[in-house]
Amino acid sequence: MNIGFIGLGIMGRPMALHLQAAGHRLAVVKNRSDIPADFVDGGALVCASPREVAEASDIIIMMVPDTPDVERVLFGPGGIAEGIGAGKLVVDMSSIDPIATRGFAERIRALGSDYVDAPVSGGEVGAKNAALTIMCGGEPDAFARALPLFELMGKNITHVGGVGDGQVAKVANQIIVALNIQAVSEALVFAAKAGADPAKVREALLGGFASSRILEVHAERMIKRTFDPGFRIELHQKDLNLALGSARSLGLALPNTAIAQQMFSSCVSMGGEGWDHSALVKAIEQLGNCRLGE
């Protein structure tokens, strides 16, 4: 198929490369940085705007940071909306506001194209290994059309429901991930403050009921102090803002989510908005005057 892919960042680049490796013809947009050579060498069409990407593609995938970015790519000057029509499919794999997603979908469907929201979880490692979890919202026929592409990028693919429901699932995912990072951070700092070796404590916990992907992957990052993203704190904060804003509109309290957001804000005050989200441990260390490994 002719696939447009907009957003060749930490996650988007390996995702798009999987599609290209499977034989799909990619159209990408040249933005503020040069297109990586591996796309050009693989025959990707380099376009000047999202409109040109949409005109050259049957399915257009977006993987950009936030709700305003999706709106700009879709409806800004030279946006996707100017290049679509009947028979095309827009797939948003970004993590954005569920309510805004439903509004975007209505506007795209009014132009004759289908819309699927399909945010992902799994980070850079999952993107590189084509092992992402993909949470999808949209009409069944539109989801079925996108499914063969999702299968090239992920392993756990779920059609959650209508448009926006994929984004709801992703917000729920980010709540769980943030709270698990905070829990693991607190556990390891407790272990260190009590005089135990955090690495050995992690090893012991991996065999029990407390085991998790956060304990497996991010606890190792915390102990080894490897905080290159991964998934940046500023992006996780964006996702928790979506959670807390939606909770307010629903009359719902998310107290532990709010605390995790404050821990991320503490990291940002140290200059850490670009750190991997596992660096939340630095905020817990600061509160306890205890650094892992010391």
Active site residues: 170
Q: Are 89 and 4 in contact (CB under 8 A)?
A: no
Helix residue ranges per DSSP H, the chain = 12-21, 37-41, 50-55, 67-75, 98-109, 123-128, 140-153, 165-193, 198-205, 213, 219-224, 233-250, 255-269, 281-288
Q: What residue has token string 């990707």? A: 44
Which among 124, 136, 203 is positioned nearest to 166, based on CA atoms? 136
> Which residue(s) pair with 92 in the sheet?
62, 117
User: What does the block give as tokens for 130?
Assistant: 């084509």
In the chain, how many H helices and how many E strands?
A: 14, 9
Under 8 Å between Cβ of 117 and 166: yes
From residue 198, alpha-carbon distances to 190, 203, 287, 293, 294 in Å are 9, 9, 17, 7, 10
Distances (CA, A) of 292 to 48, 190, 232, 264, 281: 48, 10, 21, 18, 9
Q: Provide the phi-psi class of 258: left if phi over 0, else alpha when psi is between -120 and 50, else beta.
A: alpha
Q: Write phi, then psi, for 47 (nearest 5 degrees).
A: -110, 160
Q: Which residue has the tokens 């750190």?
A: 275
- DSSP letter for 36, please: P
